[in-house]
Amino acid sequence: MSKEWVLTQEDFDRLLAWLDPERERAGQRYEEIRLRLIKLFACRGCGEADLLADETINRVARKLPEVAGTYTGDPALYFCGVAHRVHLEYLRRRPPAPAPVARPAEEVEREYACLESCMRELTPDSRELVLQYYMEEKQVKIDHRKELARRLGIAINALRLRAFRIRAALQQCVEDCLEKAAA
């Protein structure tokens, strides 16, 4: 990432003027774009989301004299394009993730046995709900959950809350079971 270029007050003022002619709205727009960039980097698993957002803003500000006169459209989209490049650089310089550690088969079997035992302790309705809730993947999963909420006659958020509570209870049950098995 660029270390030699520093954002000056003049550069920042030019950036704000590009975002909106009215200073107050430009400041709000700047904050919205910065938060959007932070969320974008965080959703992509970047541990330094705020630093990467600032780097993106600095790069846009540095290029602004060349871009401002010819760029048409929403400036936020230009920031997103620059953010994409910054993210690619981040991925290239990030050390590779450590290889997953293989767990002993006995440990996996104990966890599975505890999960089965805890699932049997659930009420039939709760067991069915949690099994249905965690079915499928991607868009099919979303559609399936909407249909499940419709069948139960509840809002999707109520369904999420129910599934979360059942999962939390299952997790606690499995942890307790594993502790008993280890003792």
Q: Are residues 88 and 110 in the same domain?
A: no
- Could you count the other beta carbons within 10 Å of the beta carbon of residue 19? 21
Q: What is the pLDDT of residue 174?
A: 96
Q: Are residues 75 and 109 in the same domain?
A: no
Is residue 147 included in any domain, yes or no?
A: yes
Give the C-alpha separation, 182 to 110, whole Å: 10
Is residue 85 included in any domain, yes or no?
A: yes
Q: Give me the mean pLDDT over the 99-128 stretch.
A: 93
Q: Give me the mean pLDDT over the 101-118 stretch.
A: 93
Q: Are residues 85 and 153 in the same domain?
A: no
Q: Are residues 163 and 130 in the same domain?
A: yes
Q: What is the pLDDT of residue 107?
A: 92
What is the reported pTM?
0.53
What is the torsional sign of CA 152, 157, 160, 161? negative
Q: Give me the mean pLDDT over the 143-161 stretch.
A: 93
Q: Give me the mean pLDDT over the 137-146 stretch.
A: 90
Is residue 98 included in any domain, yes or no?
A: no
Is residue 127 included in any domain, yes or no?
A: yes
Task: State the average pLDDT for the chain.
Answer: 92
Torsion of CA 15, 16, 19, 21, to 10 degrees: -130
Give the residue from 59, 93, 127 where a domain finishes. Answer: 93
Is residue 3 included in any domain, yes or no?
A: no
Q: Are residues 79 and 131 in the same domain?
A: no
Q: Are residues 32 and 80 in the same domain?
A: yes
Q: Give me the mean pLDDT over the 66-81 stretch.
A: 93
**Interacting residues of 67 by C-beta distance below 8 A, sequence separation 6+:** 60, 78
Q: Looking at the 3D structure of the chain, how many domains does it have?
A: 2
Is residue 4 included in any domain, yes or no?
A: no
Is residue 157 included in any domain, yes or no?
A: yes
Q: What is the pLDDT of residue 46?
A: 87
CATH code: domain of residue 161:
1.10.10
Q: Which tens digit of pLDDT belongs to each residue from 14-58?
A: 999 999 999 999 999 999 999 999 999 999 988 889 999 999 999
Is residue 18 included in any domain, yes or no?
A: yes
